[in-house]
Amino acid sequence: TILTPNSPTAELQALDAAHHMHPFTQGVELAEKGARIITRADGCWLTDSDGNRILDGMAGLWCVNIGYGRTELADAAHRQMLDLPFYNTFFQTSHVPALNLAAKLAELAPVDLNHVFFAGSGSEANDTNLRMVRTYWQEKGQPERQVIISRWNAYHGSSVGSGSLGGMKGMHAQGGMPIPGIHHIDQPHWWAEGGYSTPEAFGLERAQALETAILEIGPEKVAAFIAEPVQGAGGVIIPPDTYWPEIQRIVDKYDILLIADEVICGFGRTGNWFGSETFGIKPDIMTVAKGLSSGYQPIGASIVSDKVASVIGNTEFNHGYTYSGHPVACAVALENLRILEEEGIVERVRNETAPYLKERFESLADHPLVGEVKIVGMMGSLALTPDKATRAAFAADAGTAGFICRERCFANNLIMRHVGDRMVISPPLVISKEEIDTLVTRARLSLDEAL
């Protein structure tokens, strides 16, 4: 049976339930409810199989930065498929889309990040990083430097390597993660874990946990520290201002490589091209994916400093994916970057839409359920609580408030995601002020209904 976007919803849902296993989803529960089937999209709006128009407050999965329906990307894919649909970059060959995209990324990335290793996703790129930093130290004659430090509640992907780098305990509980040699420290999540202190003091304390861990493990055994400039999937956790400068001081002091996972923060999400610029971070490697192609094609990459690339280049790095530098994905990513640049989308976010979104989103702070509002650029979160003064959590068995609120958003044709009791947004960067008003109005309505 081949159904079409115009097939009846019940038929689409039944076929989906019968054969399609969904990521991060309980299959039985979904089969009972029936998935909402998305059939089309344009700008910031999705259409479902019942014809509802839904405002996408999450840009897909934090990725459709330029919005849906850009025919230029479809044209770029079409042209590239006709010219050269596939060739690999393994055995001393290259091709035009890959070399052009690598050069473009080197131009956009901060100072000495001039070398690009392609992957098919953010998870794959972080697997690359894991092996690359360990190989770096082997080649430098310090093979004992193998431990990578990460943070609890970080998200770095879903493969065994990247899931181990991540700090999601629910993921670790399934399938043998983390792999050896990865050490997690606590996150700079002031609202949930730092109420006893000021944000500034807490940010310093959580950064200094890195130094404590390095000294416990032994600096001569630590290869790298990996972190998202802003934890996204963990709940849009924006660290206190004191956090990143102290982390930078510590990695510099112990000569530890810094991997900035920019899979969400990259390509304008925080109001600059990269989150590392917003937070003053100087990474040795940046992980990118998602906004690199605005999600129109699966692609990820590690953008690597001169320092690391020159050492890796001395050996054969026995690593790569069939789709490393896939020509169609590279061509589409290049076109996406052209649009971001030529239409001044990142500048518009920084100067116009992000300040407007901040003002409107922060107006939700007076809602009885909202304990904290955090936002940077085009990513924000609301902490829901039954008691603002004590920051109490909702009882888990009551069904989390976040879950109820997300369901109400869904019913009100707004996509927001929930992470525990945090409601998060990450709309397309091209969202208009009018659409921001709609987003905030629907969010407030949904909060009211969740009360």
Total binding residues for ligand PLP by CB under 6 A? 15
- Binding-residue pattern over the window 226 to 245 for ligand PLP, x denoting contact by CB under 6 A: --x---xx------------
Q: What single string gives the DSSP state of each residue in 241-283? A: TTHHHHHHHHHHHTT-EEEEE-TTTTTTTTSSSSHHHHTT---
> Is 155 among the residues that bind ligand PLP (CB under 6 A)?
yes
Residue among 41 and 259 whose Cβ is closer to ligand PLP: 259
| Site map 93..132 versus ligand PLP, x via CB under 6 A | ----------------------------xxx--x------
- Site residues for ligand PLP, 379-438, by CB under 6 A, read none
> Cα-flanking dihedrals φ and ψ of residue 419, to 5°?
-125, 100
CA distances from 212 to 131, 142, 166, 330 (A): 24, 21, 20, 41
Using rule CB under 6 A, residue 263 touches ligand PLP = yes
The nearer residue to ligand PLP, 67 or 229, going by C-beta atoms, is 229
Paired sense of beta strands 147-151 and 222-227, if any:
parallel
Which CB sits closer to ligand PLP, 404 or 425?
Answer: 425
Pick 378 or 447: Cβ nearer ligand PLP: 378
Report the C-alpha gap between 232 and 60 in whole angstroms.
14
* Among 48, 127, 211, 261, contact with ligand PLP (rule: CB under 6 A): 261
Burial of 168 (0-12, 13-18, 19+ CB in 10 A): middle
Name the residue nearer to ligand PLP (CB basis): 155 or 394: 155
The yes or no reply on residue 157 touching ligand PLP (CB under 6 A) is: yes
C-alpha to C-alpha distances, 253 to 39, 137, 140, 226, 247, nearest whole angstrom: 52, 17, 18, 16, 10
> What's the min distance (Å) between Cβ of 284 and ligand PLP?
17
Q: Which is nearer to ligand PLP, 237 or 370 (CB)?
A: 237
Q: Which tokens is 92 given?
A: 């001393």
Give the residue among 240, 278, 241 at the shortest CA–CA distance from 378: 278
**Token match 């310093």: residue?**
204
Please tell me whether residue 302 binds ligand PLP under the rule CB under 6 A: no
Q: For residues 91 and 93, give the distance between their C-alpha atoms in angstroms, rounded to a whole number.
A: 6
Nearer to ligand PLP, 23 or 141 (CB): 23
When the beta carbons of 56 and 435 are compared against ligand PLP, the nearer one is 56
- Residues for the chain: how many in total? 451
What is the crossing angle of helices 354-362 and 433-450, to 10°?
A: 20
Q: Is 184 in the site for ligand PLP (CB under 6 A)?
A: no
Q: Candidates 30-38, 149-157, 168-176, 372-380 — which segment interacts with ligand PLP by CB under 6 A?
A: 149-157
Please name the residues in contact with 194: beta carbons below 8 A apart, sequence gap of 6 or more.
188, 202, 205, 206
Find the binder of ligand PLP among 58, 289, 404, 409 (CB under 6 A): 289
Does position 332 interact with ligand PLP (CB under 6 A)? The reply is no
Residue 224, strand partner residues: 148, 257
Q: Taking the complex as a whole, how short is the minimal distance between the CB of residue 59 and ligand PLP, in angstroms? A: 12
Site for ligand PLP, rule CB under 6 A: 121-123, 126, 155-157, 228, 232-233, 261, 263-264, 289, 300
